[in-house]
Amino acid sequence: MTTIASLGARLLRVPLTRPWAADVTSVGVIATHVVRSDGSEGWGFSWTPQIGAEAVLALIEHDIAPAALGRDADAATTWRPLWQHLHEAGGGGITTIALAGLDLALWDAAARARDLPVSALIGRRRESVRAYGSGVNLHYPLDELIAQVRRWVDAGFDAVKIKVGKPDMREDADRVAAVRDVLGPDRALMIDANQRWDLDRATSSMEVLAAFDPAWIEEPLRADDLTGHAELARRIATPIALGENLHTVYRFAEFLRAGAVQIVQPNVVRVGGVTPFLRIAQVAVDHGATLHPHLLPELSGQLALTLATAPGAAEPMAEDVEDAGFGALGALADPSPVALSDGSLTETPHVGLGIRFA
């Protein structure tokens, strides 16, 4: 049996080209490096935009690394016992974010040992996926928001996502109307409230915003409000998307069973890595739901190439947040493992995950 011989981690702060908010000027990356008993190496990472990076690093160094040494280097075998080991610190959140650092490095090592990209190791189902332009843009003045949308259109994107949730609902309506005018009727428009509404505000807002034909409303309520999302789904016709702030396969299954979500958006790092991400993807298929991975296109775009889709469900899309990809931010030691062109994402030649930080 090939085992885990060592696990190291280091914390990086990657400056953002444009702040996501006044206090979000960088993102935290905990770069990981695993060595297996057969000498194979793998590189992975954990990620959190602003809060908890130091805690993730401490969890990896003090709790995960000692518990991982000598265990099976097969990520799918090792993930659950380590998750159970960390459980008294929480079943998800910091614990699963930290576990992703090991899981990704183990997948990287396994693929590198076979001289393959991870997508080939999993099983690639398509050679490209549709991508959509996305931005952290609620604080943008209207003219800057419109300029951003025009850049996406000029770059060939046929789907874009913007933030909503202004204190005055009329301002949301004006901004969405202006964006729809730029996009025209044939491009998809998605809106994301980032948990800013309560049930009644979400209901009244969507009564107005539905006129602009949004493909989905993302995180309209607090992410863990299962009952509220189920009730909102009964009240509105626009599909509900969420998942970036759900952390376990159990929570995804609960929301799907309750009819509280139609489009799931797991973040591969926040759920704990490739191993649990693939389990969540299977749960989505079992419930006939569409899955679009959240953020991190260099990683989630590769996984989107491998995903099965339920009958009638849309194929996965990759989310490309303007000026926020690791490659665009100059954070990678090697060329990006993916390329975006004319609204589509494809892989570039690489082995493993192809993600090592400078």
Q: Please determine, for residue 19, whether its predicted confidence score (pLDDT) is greater than 90.
A: no
pTM summary value? 0.96
Average pLDDT over residues 93-100: 97
Contact predicate 212/177, CB 8 Å: yes
- Pick the catalytic residue: 33, 161, 292, 294? 294
- Pick the catalytic residue: 161, 163, 229, 287? 163
For residue range 32-73, what is the model confidence (pLDDT) as tens digits?
999 999 999 999 999 998 899 999 999 999 999 999 999 999
Which residue is it, tokens 């209901």? 203
For residue range 275-311, what is the model confidence (pLDDT) as tens digits?
999 999 999 999 999 999 999 999 999 999 999 999 9
Which residues are CB-contacts of 22 (< 8 A; sequence separation ≥ 6)?
none
Based on the residue annotation, tell me whether 292 is a catalytic residue of this protein.
no
pLDDT given for residue 76 in this prediction? 96
Cα separation, 252 vs 207, whole angstroms: 26
DSSP per-residue letters across 36-94: ETTS-EEEEEEEESSSSHHHHHHHIIIIIHHHHTTSBS-HHHHHHHHHHHTGGG-SSSH
Q: Please determine, for residue 18, whether its predicted confidence score (pLDDT) is greater than 90.
A: no
Residue 182 CB coordination number (10 Å): 17
Cα separation, 286 vs 280, whole angstroms: 10
Cα separation, 242 vs 216, whole angstroms: 10
Cα separation, 320 vs 294, whole angstroms: 9
- Structural domains in the chain, sorted by start: 4-115 (3.30.390.10), 119-347 (3.20.20.120)
DSSP per-residue letters across 294-330: -S-HHHHHHHHTT----TTPPPP-EEEETT-STTTTT
Give residue 191's pLDDT band: very low, low, confident or very high (50, 70, 90).
very high
Give residue 82's pLDDT band: very low, low, confident or very high (50, 70, 90).
very high
One-letter amino acid for residue 1 of the chain: M
Which residues are CB-contacts of 120 (< 8 A; sequence separation ≥ 6)?
111
Q: Please determine, for residue 196, whether its predicted confidence score (pLDDT) is greater than 90.
A: yes
Would you give the DSSP letter of residue 87? G
Contact predicate 121/110, CB 8 Å: yes
Based on the residue annotation, tell me whether 294 is a catalytic residue of this protein.
yes
Nearest CA to 290 out of 267, 320, 258, 256 is that of 256
